[in-house]
């Protein structure tokens, strides 16, 4: 089946085929695609709140004014900028990161774009050390204008720039992307940002890849926007309500996502060509935050290396997004299909077909929401961890320290923490363990069919740490035959965090924290002309620790099972040792 120019969908659904076909027929009978195009909120819920004002993504590819982007490109190209650092989280950062990591710079001017979305002090310091503020454009990107991580990054990097270049010049090195009327609009005016992009407020963060939030950074990184958007428009035509339903790729993909989840196959495992790897991070947020609520949810499993059929449970469906000519995963997927696992393959002619894939997956996810009887545009549980983190920060500002907890056991590398004393969760699983590896095994002994294991690392994102945690992740998958996920905090809070608290409660959460590296202070305010240097009442080290504590508390309050591993030595080495000892 053609899905826009160059994109082909093939599906092997086995015994679930009939349910998917019945769902597609129901979408046709109820005119769902036409109603979505018309903005009918009743497709999802009788109440229009957080639906009617969240459908701007449907036609943004045709409406977006690209001229302000081109004007910015001409300015920074003329003035000798070489780098761009995007300060953002979740929907504001994942599409820009995809563009930076996936697309080679088109012929002509391009900045070296990177994303800052870790509050770990080591990560902040690392970004500072590799950049020259004289040649760097900082992109402050937040829909609400009040995202704590983004504003903390802004104050730090703005003050550093002002101290280096002078406060009169600092604003020229900053642009804002936000909604009209947000706090950031006033902040940008006060500090004389070079430019402010006001996005369509009727677009939620995870649906914003084709708006200013995604496309302004993409253009700075050298992406050919007309070519990308041409693919989006072709996909819109291929998925329009006038297309016969049996040929409509969005209807089919949405029906597969929704009906597979209803049949218990709610672990959507995304496999990509190596060149498309960053697409997994983007689609992870889209699916998890859109569907993980009201006791339901589809867990997107990304960056989990393929294994043999025997290591998987019956809750999997595999989606293979690949560039034509890439056969690297084909045999493993054929083995899975022959073993009875549903496999869906989407072929792309080149990376610019991602312009169509953004829209295809957005529409398919919205359709899946209809089939799951949820609102795919709200995020009712995201705030819980933020509230708890704010409470932790307030306690720190009042007492000078964060709440303390006593470990259940520890060795030279890892201290293990079970549920807090006030938690209603069962603690028996951990009380007999003598080692961290043993405690992990006892914690996971609670697992049942359909559960998943989530590794949540509130540590500095580094290649060796990621490699070590991926190795642990695969060992746990192969041992328990459960789906696994891995994310750095606080990044994942804006991605899978909603699903973790909003789904059916079948996650086992392993939170990994670490002894702080050299800390970095967060300024209380951005420097004002003629004012003295502002003080600091909190550091990035305190912030990330508060975010970890807040998320853990929110998970436990939602009845989730949580184990915390506090690394006392080098993170990657401690995780390698834990992996070796586990099950040994």
Domains of the chain: 8-54+241-372 (3.40.50.10490), 64-224 (3.40.50.10490), 382-581 (3.40.50.10490)
Q: Please name the helix (run of DSSP H) or strand (run of DSSP E) that holds residue 479, with its range, or none.
A: helix 463-480
Task: HSE, CB side, 13 Å, CA atoms: give it for residue 473.
Answer: 27
**Cα four-point dihedral sign 24, 25, 28, 32:** negative
Burial 533-572 (b: 16+ CB within 10 A, else e): eeeeebbbbbbbbbbbbbbbbbbbebebbbbbbbbbebbb
- Distance, CA of 364 to chain centre: 18
| Pairing label, strands 521-522, 538-539 | antiparallel
Burial class for 397, CB neighbours closer than 10 Å (0-12, 13-18, 19+): exposed
Instruction: Specify the 3-state DSSP secondary structure of 225.
Output: helix
CA-CA-CA-CA torsion for 566, 570, 574, 575, nearest 10 degrees?
90
Query: What's residue 350's pLDDT?
Result: 95
In this prediction, residue 1 carries a pLDDT of 41
Which residue, 235, 215, 232, is CA-closest to 103? 215
pLDDT, position 583:
72
DSSP-derived pairing of the beta strands 507-514 and 452-457: parallel
Q: What does the block give as tokens for 507?
A: 């996650």
Question: For residues 188 and 195, what is the distance between their CA atoms, to the nearest angstrom?
Answer: 8
Q: Report the alpha-carbon distance of residue 490 to residue 90 in Å, rounded.
A: 10
Could you say which residues of the chain have pLDDT below 50?
A: 1-6, 422
**Quick count: other Cβ atoms within 10 Å of Cβ 65?**
9
pLDDT score for 419:
81
Q: How far apart are alpha carbons 3 and 349 in whole angstroms?
A: 11
Nearest to 83 by CA among 105, 107, 59, 51: 105
Cα–Cα distance for residue pair 354/359, rounded to 1 Å: 9
CB 3 within 8 A of CB 231: no
| CA–CA separation, 50 and 24 (whole Å) | 26
Predicted confidence (pLDDT) per residue in 59-70, tens digit: 999 999 999 999
Residue (of 312, 335, 304) closest to 474 by Cα position:
304
Report how far Cα 10 is from the mean position of its chain's Cα atoms: 26
Length of the chain: 584
Terminal-to-terminal C-alpha distance of the chain: 48
3-state helix, strand, coil in the chain (%, to 5): 50, 15, 35
């Amino acid at each position: 089946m053609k899905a826009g120019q160059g994109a082909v969908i093939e599906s092997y659904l086995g015994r679930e085929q009939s349910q998917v076909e019945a769902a597609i027929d129901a979408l046709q009978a109820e005119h769902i695609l036409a109603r979505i195009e018309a903005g009918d909120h009743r497709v999802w819920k009788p109440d229009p709140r957080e639906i009617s004002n969240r459908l701007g993504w449907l036609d943004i590819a045709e409406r977006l004014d690209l001229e302000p982007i081109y004007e910015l490109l001409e300015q920074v190209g003329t003035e000798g900028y070489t780098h761009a650092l995007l300060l953002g989280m979740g929907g504001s950062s994942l599409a820009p990161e995809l563009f930076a990591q996936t697309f080679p710079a088109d012929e002509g001017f391009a900045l070296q774009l990177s994303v800052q979305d870790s509050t770990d002090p080591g990560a902040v310091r690392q970004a500072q050390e590799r950049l020259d503020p004289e040649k760097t454009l900082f992109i402050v990107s937040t829909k609400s204008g009040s995202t704590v991580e983004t504003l903390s990054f802004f104050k730090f990097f703005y003050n550093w720039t002002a101290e280096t270049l002078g406060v009169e010049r600092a604003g020229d090195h900053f642009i804002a992307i936000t909604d009209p009327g947000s706090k950031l609009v006033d902040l940008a005016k006060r500090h004389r940002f070079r430019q402010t992009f006001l996005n369509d407020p009727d677009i939620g963060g995870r649906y914003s890849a084709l708006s200013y939030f995604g496309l302004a950074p993409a253009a700075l990184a050298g992406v050919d926007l007309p070519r990308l958007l041409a693919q989006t428009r072709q996909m819109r035509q291929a998925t329009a309500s006038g297309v016969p339903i049996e040929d409509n790729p969005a209807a089919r993909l949405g029906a597969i996502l929704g009906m597979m989840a209803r049949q218990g196959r709610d672990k959507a495992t995304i496999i990509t060509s190596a060149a498309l790897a960053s697409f997994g991070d983007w689609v992870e947020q889209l699916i998890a935050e859109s569907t993980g609520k009201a006791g339901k949810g589809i867990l997107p499993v990304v960056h989990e290396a393929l294994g043999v059929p025997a290591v998987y449970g019956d809750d999997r469906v595999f989606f293979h997004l690949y560039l034509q000519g890439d056969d690297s995963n084909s045999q493993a997927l054929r083995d899975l299909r022959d073993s009875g696992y549903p496999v869906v393959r989407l072929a792309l002619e080149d990376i610019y077909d991602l312009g169509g894939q953004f829209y295809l997956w957005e529409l398919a996810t919205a359709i899946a929401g209809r089939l799951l009887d949820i609102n795919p545009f709200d995020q009712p549980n995201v705030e819980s961890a933020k509230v708890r983190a704010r409470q932790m920060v307030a306690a720190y500002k009042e007492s000078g320290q964060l709440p303390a907890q006593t470990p259940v056991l520890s060795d030279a590398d890892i201290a293990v923490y079970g549920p807090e004393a006030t938690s209603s969760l069962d603690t028996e699983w951990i009380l007999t363990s003598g080692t961290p590896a043993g405690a992990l095994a006892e914690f996971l002994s609670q697992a049942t069919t359909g559960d998943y294991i989530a590794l949540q690392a509130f540590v500095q994102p580094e290649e060796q740490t990621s490699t070590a945690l991926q190795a642990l992740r695969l060992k746990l998958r192969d041992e328990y035959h459960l789906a696994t996920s891995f994310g750095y905090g606080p990044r994942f809070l804006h991605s899978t965090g909603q699903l973790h608290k909003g789904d059916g409660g079948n996650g086992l959460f392993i939170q990994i924290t670490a002894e702080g590296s050299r800390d970095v202070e967060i300024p209380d305010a951005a420097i004002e002309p003629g004012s003295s240097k502002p003080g600091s009442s909190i550091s990035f080290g305190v912030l990330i620790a508060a975010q970890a504590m807040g998320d853990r508390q929110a998970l436990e309050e939602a009845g989730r099972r949580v184990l915390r591993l506090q690394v006392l030595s080098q993170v990657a080495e401690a995780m390698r040792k834990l992996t070796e000892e586990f099950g040994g």
